[in-house]
Structure 1
Amino acid sequence: MERVGQVLEKVREGNPLIHNITNVVVTNFTANGLLALGASPVMAYAKQEVAYMARIAGALVLNMGTLDEHIVEAMLIAGKSANDQGVPVLFDPVGAGATPYRTETAQSIVKQVATAIVRGNAAEISHVIGEAWQIKGVDAGEGKGDVVALAKMAAKKLGTIVAITGKVDVITDGERSYLIRNGHPILTKVTGTGCLLTSVMGAFAAVEEDILFAGASALVCYGVAAEQAAKKAANDGPGSFQIQFLNELAGITPDDVRRSGILELAE
């Protein structure tokens, strides 16, 4: 856990600029979460400026929670610009599998933009690579498949690091894999916690060259912050938890991570 704490400190010291093209439901929460953590968020969507913004960012996060053709065009412009400058691109295929348009859009983006990390639930990731999994709206069913095997398959098919989040998070490059056993069920009761997570992973990827470990570190820190917030506010409901979670993202320390983080190498 020592190294995870070091990456957290690098985020705080580096204050990386994270360019988010995200959905309208979570924009405010995402910006506040990144600020609390110690990163610098920017939300730029106009196709006239996204190429420039992506070039100067520490990471670019593409989130297709609320889709239209203009957003998709902006994502592709920004993604290709980030690729040209070596800026890591993180992709969150929200709701892939819920409608043909979402699935086709997700598959089109990963074909046209080189991603550093693709993060989603099992249903979303499976539909990005054309595998069947349960999905309802933009939320995954539990399913009965092997999530580690699915993540490895997706990483190899897409040629990127894949993170599948759920009760236990898995992140893999197809060869090395980590399991993260931090977090709290109340995260599922607050809209946007998954979307913010992808942006937090972007902040870690912006400061750590080992992108797989950067993603794993983000998952640990995020999960520990959620656990600490839940201890203080879960009984008061999701609204109180959301506010306390932002406080914990601001206050989490390397000592908290060393004390509570659970990071395992998977077979």
Structure 2
Amino acid sequence: MRVKAPLVHCLTGAVSAPFVADGLLAAGARPLMTATIGEAPTLVRGADALLVNLAALGEETAAAILPTVAAARDGGRPWVLDPAVVGPTPVRTPLARNLVRHHPGAIRGNASEIRALAGADGGARGADTTCSSRAVIDDAARLAHDARCVVVVSGELDVITDGHRVIGSTGGDARLTQVTGTGCLLSALVTAFITVATPLDAALTAVALMSSAAEDAARKSAGPGSFKVELLDALDRIGPTHLEVSTRWCSG
């Protein structure tokens, strides 16, 4: 991925956009953040992949999503869905379920979001999950099977499934939950890696990189502010050999 330095077009919320852009750059990719109906469907044709993140969804971004996804698919670009705040919201939820029918290569969300997208009551409170990733493994596997994509559920145990295999990662650090946009960044990393690998391998690599970077950042930081800075530095510093040594997987 770092050799290719893919251009990742992100339709995402303004709250997390700067952090997502910085994180992509630190990991070796390049961000493009245009989310307007007038330009996004055109600019995505020059990108290598598309991320659709429903966080902080505004009217203009909402209008741009489906045409941009269509343009990406027409151009053979892979795309990833982050169904942020899906479940308790009357606009995002039907939009996200419609987007699933447009064949994303991967879907990344928290447990409540994935359960809601699978058709059950996720019980979310805003952007926060009210259930664990372990509790929604069956929902995630069913969603992955039905949508024919890879599903990543973030949590204390990160769950990755293609509908047949279920793989868990026990790495990371609790301070990831104290910095806005870390989930959004993970979705962007999946999108970057999907330009050079299968969706399953892209998801596994993104989770491994984010988890290892978080553990490294936690050792060097004193609180959420310094953790955020150290996380970006770790994303730049960590290489494949470190991931092979540090990543802990469990299969089911």
2:148 corresponds to which residue? Answer: 159
1:219 corresponds to which residue? Answer: 207
Q: Quick check: 144-153 or 82-91, which moved more? A: 144-153
- Contact 2:110/2:133, CA 8 A, preserved across alignment: no
- Identify the structure with bigger relative contact order (alpha carbons < 8 Å, sequence gap 6+): 1
Which residue identity does 2:220 align to in structure 1? K
Cα RMSD of the aligned pairs, angstroms, is: 1.4
1:263 corresponds to which residue? Answer: 249
Task: Give the count of matched residue pairs.
Answer: 252
1:12 corresponds to which residue? Answer: 2
- Whichever structure has more helix as a proportion of its residues is 1
In the alignment, which of 214, 232, 235 is matched to residue 220 of structure 2?
Answer: 232
Other structure's SS at 1:72 match:
helix
| TM-score normalised by the chain length of structure 2 | 0.95
Which residue identity does 1:258 align to in structure 2? E
C-alpha displacement at 1:145, in angstroms? 6.4
1:192 corresponds to which residue? Answer: 181
CA–CA distance in structure 1, aligned partners of residues 2 and 18 of structure 2? 20
C-alpha displacement at 1:144, in angstroms? 8.7
Other structure's SS at 1:14 match:
coil
Q: Quick check: 47-56 or 139-148, which moved more? A: 139-148
C-alpha displacement at 1:75, in angstroms? 1.0
Unaligned runs of at least 5 residues, structure 1:
1-10
In the alignment, which of 157, 161, 169 is matched to residue 168 of structure 1?
Answer: 157
Identity, % of aligned pairs? Answer: 37
Tell whether 2:229 aligns with 1:243: yes
CA–CA distance in structure 2, aligned partners of residues 103 and 173 of structure 1? 22
1:253 corresponds to which residue? Answer: 239
Which residue identity does 1:49 align to in structure 2? E
Tell whether 2:37 aligns with 1:47: yes
CA–CA distance in structure 2, aligned partners of residues 83 and 151 of structure 1? 24
- Compared CA separation, residues 75 and 184, structure 1 to 2 (3 A): same
Moved over 4 A (4+): none
